[in-house]
Structure 1
Amino acid sequence: MPLTGIANENEFYSDHYLDAILTQDLKGVAKEWLETSDEKTPDKALGRLRPDYFRLLDRLKRLDDPAEQLQQQRAFFEQILTILGYQWQPQLKVLDSDHFLPIIAEVTRNNGTQKLWVIEGFNNTSEPLDVLSLTLQNEQYQFAENLEGDTLENSTLEDLLTDHIFAEDNPPRWVILISLDQLVLIDRHKWNASRLLRFDLAQLLEEKDKDSLLAAATLLHRNHTCPADGTALLDTLDENSHRHTYSVSESLKFALREAIKLLGNEAIEYRKTVSKKQVFSSDEQKERGEQEIDPNELKIECLRWVYRLLFVFYIEARPELGYAPMGSDVYREGYSLETLRDLEQTELISTEDESGYYIDTCIRRLFALLWSGYPEEAKQLNLLEPGEFSAQPIHNTFHLPALKSHLFDPKRTKMLNGVKFRNRVLQRVLELMSLSQKGKSRRGRISYAQLGVNQLGEVYEGLLSLSAFFAEEDLYEVKPEKEPDERSELEVGYFVPARRLDEFKKSELVIDPETKKDPRKHEQGKFIFRACGAGPTKKRQLLHAPIFNGMFGEIRPQRVVKR
């Protein structure tokens, strides 16, 4: 479950890692704290601040004097920082720009250079405010007597970070912003990408979720941001996040590559057997430089089709994005991709089950609804504002905003618009995109709610780098002699025609994963989608993948940030 009161903005850590893995990685911290304390561990001490916090909020509403409000606020901040291992030390820092900056705690290296600053935000209103939007107030400078020099009053903390703090010759690595509403953890190396962790104090202390309090106390604690020696725990967690992100991305890349290959071959089969159209170019067409079907165009259309599926999985898993009306029973049970996902391992008994087009019809209807919006007459009746939808059914219907993006534009899948995919093929595609890869561990459902936009982009770029071509004759897969027999579909593939097989040793032949003994054969006419290279003995590049951009158009389910 997502951690309560912790916002992972612009993927400070990957969303998948923060939601699914981090809690497990912090169990060692919890155990260590229990062994070295008398039950007053930082996470429990943080939770015990709940009554003090809400009493303070109530008390501040009755105070009119900003100086007294600041004094009351600082007494509470001192409690929090002490729990998190920081020494309360209000002071003024002289910046390289000769401005004075008030901070309330710091951590320095042995040589005196800065590692971390804690900066307070003063919210003297009764409404919660983003700590980054708060400005330095005159009251925050009052503790310094005979102050001579420029202050930074009326500058927002967000601007201070960019224009002053991280512009220093020797800036701190970490900055913690703290206000009555929230704490924000900022890593200088991630600030330019607006990546940060935001901790909602009211939600954390009101809910008192154990995992969330442990995560907050761990991620903000001095011993884990600025340890006396050794590697900071936050850097270790960052490495774990990258590792798990890579693992999930590779798994998804494998699934989508296989899905694209299946759709490409099914499109060829439909065109050949059902439409009775020519598939491959004649010798005369080749001489004229013409192609009946461009394999790279087929690749792009299949990639777009698969990413439509992926995008629908993503928005249905995250109804808060405002696209998919999962609160409507009509949509969820009658149209959603999530319902079709339940067919991923249903046994197809008859030939009619396998060769029918039920799944194809349902998916194409959903794509059409997403492109055009539903109901179309809603705008004419002023039932909807642009981009809005109703999570609850109105008169047994639902609302979908029109997604006028390149991704769902039917004109961009002209080739696939003229084919149909059989149930057995689309069932396999849904299975690939719904379940983790087969392996030693039990297969589990892929949670698209935990996938980050950055991961989806990385997978997309990785798939673009793969090549697409038709086997104009029977091809066999070969490899360098010293490489293992088992090869991943994501590894570079080397292909040679049957007439050249005698040029290769047995140890250079890739074994078919099905038979476990025969050389792996790709029959004439097959659509091949792989990273391709030259054969082991003749270093000739077979083909290159084209660069393609603009698939998503304006659809970017990503938070827009000021910087």
Structure 2
Amino acid sequence: MSMDLTGITNQNEYYTNHYFSSIFEENASKTISTWRAEAKNNDGIRTPWSLLRDAAKQYYPLHDRYVRAKDDSQILSNICLLADTYLEALGYPDAQPELIEIDDTLKVPVYLEINKANGAPLLWILLAASQEKDAGILEKHCFSADTIGEDNSNPKSPGEMTTLDNEELATKILFGAAEPPRFLIFIGMNQIALIDRNKWNEKRYLQFELEEIFSRREESTLQAMAVLLHRNSLCPKEGIALIDELDANSQKHAAGVSQDLKYALRESIELLGNEVLYDMANRQGRNLDTDPVDAGQLTMECLRYMYRMLFVLFIESRPELGYAPLKAQSYMYSYSLESLRDIADNIRDDVE
């Protein structure tokens, strides 16, 4: 059975979509097998996904309270509690909250920092919350665990949370800090986001919908979550990070797909050109010996047609982008794939 990635969003193709849906499972299998073998051979070791399944048991009582309550005075402390559970399951050390200065106007509440061997920052984990419960993880704001009261209440002052939302904050950290980390992990009540500095200029990141993932408790989904967020995947003590191996494989796959597409496009142009010549000779009655077709012009027209077809296929597969009025009659009867089918059927009837 293939890996179920429901609840894990590949925003703006952090990995190419085809790689993530079809190839990622194969590349992650070695790590999953290693974890499974370690747990089998050591009584005191459990797999990361089994620990994440336990985290789901803690998640739901706190999440239900969060959803039902108009003002949950312990929301921030509950996010801290859940974050600690996730971090333990994913191989991270205990949190060490600190404020790190980015510039004269901004200090970032970092919940946990993982450093390189030379002491430079490699990964920051940040906690996020918002008064708007439906806000996405990057629309929320970071808070410091040190500002939570002794009774586990929320900070008294809104000023104790960052003024920048997390999307702006990520940009400020990754491209404005003198010595930025490569990775940011934002943890909120409903979502987790993994951001890589190498991909953030195009706003490519991974997002984990915790309610959906934990409600289903699908083993392969929890395995994928563990592979993508585990400390050893992002910040191994030695060797190449798994996240970089996955990225290299994704790029190789994309290059291979591009090469395949090039040859497929060439073949399509040849087939289309031959169909045009057949139609001219048989349906239109044109003598191609005495009235030949300009091969260069025919190739160019077929290429244009194929690119138009690819564009129509794209916009009809992604209606949410709003690139064309797909429901308008003018589009349906003049430009849509359905209208092209009608034209082809009419020509086929004429030939028959």
TM-score bucket of the superposed structures, by smaller chain: 0.7 to 0.9
Aligned to 1:78: 84
Aligned to 1:27: 29
Query: How far off is 1:224 after superposition?
Result: 0.7
Query: How far off is 1:92 after superposition?
Result: 0.8
Q: Which residue type is aligned with residue 303 of structure 2? A: L
Query: How far off is 1:217 after superposition?
Result: 0.6
Question: Are the counterparts in 1 of residues 126 and 142 from structure 2 also a CA contact under 8 Å?
Answer: no
Q: Which residue type is aligned with residue 261 of structure 1? A: E
1: CA distance between counterparts of 2:142 and 2:334?
42
Residues 276 and 204 of structure 1, relative CA distance in 2, 3 Å threshold: same
Query: How far off is 1:274 after superposition?
Result: 3.7
Question: Are the counterparts in 1 of residues 97 and 109 from structure 2 also a CA contact under 8 Å?
Answer: yes
- Alignment of 1:299 with 2:305, yes or no, is no
Bigger shift: 295-304 or 209-218?
A: 295-304
Find the residue that maps to 1:132 and give its secondary structure: coil
Query: How far off is 1:121 after superposition?
Result: 0.7
Question: Are the counterparts in 1 of residues 319 and 326 from structure 2 also a CA contact under 8 Å?
Answer: no
Question: Are the counterparts in 2 of residues 121 and 135 from structure 1 also a CA contact under 8 Å?
Answer: yes
Mapping for residues 433-512 of structure 1, pairs under 5 Å: none
Find the residue that maps to 1:184 and give its secondary structure: strand
1:174-213 Cα distance to aligned partner (Å, 9 max, x none): 1111111111111101001111111111111111122211
Find the residue that maps to 2:129 and give its secondary structure: coil
Query: How far off is 1:264 after superposition?
Result: 1.0
- Alignment of 1:105 with 2:132, yes or no, is no
Structure 1 residue runs without a partner (length 5+): 145-149, 283-291, 324-370, 378-399, 411-415, 423-563
Aligned to 2:275: 266
Find the residue that maps to 1:176 and give its secondary structure: strand
Aligned to 1:232: 241
Residues 36 and 269 of structure 1, relative CA distance in 2, 3 Å threshold: same
Query: How far off is 1:297 after superposition?
Result: 4.0
Find the residue that maps to 1:20 and give its secondary structure: helix
Residues 143 and 208 of structure 1, relative CA distance in 2, 3 Å threshold: closer
Aligned to 1:10: 12
Find the residue that maps to 1:131 and give its secondary structure: coil
Find the residue that maps to 1:243 and give its secondary structure: helix
Find the residue that maps to 1:89 and give its secondary structure: coil
Mapping for residues 130-141 of structure 1, pairs under 5 Å: 130-136=136-142
Find the residue that maps to 1:185 and give its secondary structure: strand
Query: How far off is 1:50 after superposition?
Result: 1.7
Query: How far off is 1:20 after superposition?
Result: 0.9
Question: Are the counterparts in 1 of residues 332 and 338 from structure 2 also a CA contact under 8 Å?
Answer: no
Match of 1:217 among 212, 226, 251: 226
Structure 2 residue runs without a partner (length 5+): 150-158
Query: How far off is 1:314 after superposition?
Result: 5.9
Match of 1:249 among 235, 252, 258: 258
Residues 89 and 116 of structure 1, relative CA distance in 2, 3 Å threshold: same
Mapping for residues 57-72 of structure 1, pairs under 5 Å: 57-60=63-66, 61-62=68-69, 64=71, 66=73, 68-72=74-78
Aligned to 1:129: 135
Question: Are the counterparts in 2 of residues 373 and 403 from structure 1 also a CA contact under 8 Å?
Answer: no
Query: How far off is 1:293 after superposition?
Result: 5.0
Query: How far off is 1:218 after superposition?
Result: 0.8
Q: Which residue type is aligned with residue 142 of structure 1? A: T
2: CA distance between counterparts of 1:372 and 1:129?
29
Question: Are the counterparts in 1 of residues 100 and 107 from structure 2 also a CA contact under 8 Å?
Answer: yes
Residues 92 and 205 of structure 1, relative CA distance in 2, 3 Å threshold: same
2: CA distance between counterparts of 1:62 and 1:36?
42
1: CA distance between counterparts of 2:333 and 2:141?
40
Residues 104 and 306 of structure 1, relative CA distance in 2, 3 Å threshold: same
Aligned to 2:156: none
2: CA distance between counterparts of 1:99 and 1:374?
48
1: CA distance between counterparts of 2:105 and 2:247?
35
2: CA distance between counterparts of 1:132 and 1:73?
16
Question: Are the counterparts in 2 of residues 372 and 403 from structure 1 also a CA contact under 8 Å?
Answer: no
Bigger shift: 4-13 or 83-92?
A: 83-92
1:347-394 Cα distance to aligned partner (Å, 9 max, x none): xxxxxxxxxxxxxxxxxxxxxxxx9966839xxxxxxxxxxxxxxxxx
Query: How far off is 1:267 after superposition?
Result: 1.3
2: CA distance between counterparts of 1:373 and 1:64?
43
Find the residue that maps to 1:92 and give its secondary structure: strand
TM-score by length of 2: 0.80
2: CA distance between counterparts of 1:175 and 1:269?
59
- Alignment of 1:197 with 2:199, yes or no, is no
2: CA distance between counterparts of 1:155 and 1:402?
48
Question: Are the counterparts in 1 of residues 129 and 188 from structure 2 also a CA contact under 8 Å?
Answer: yes
Aligned to 1:142: 147
Query: How far off is 1:263 after superposition?
Result: 1.1
Match of 1:376 among 300, 321, 329: 329
Q: Which structure features the higher share of helix residues? A: 2
TM-score by length of 1: 0.52
Query: How far off is 1:280 after superposition?
Result: 8.1
2: CA distance between counterparts of 1:103 and 1:207?
31
Query: How far off is 1:309 after superposition?
Result: 5.1
Aligned to 1:179: 188
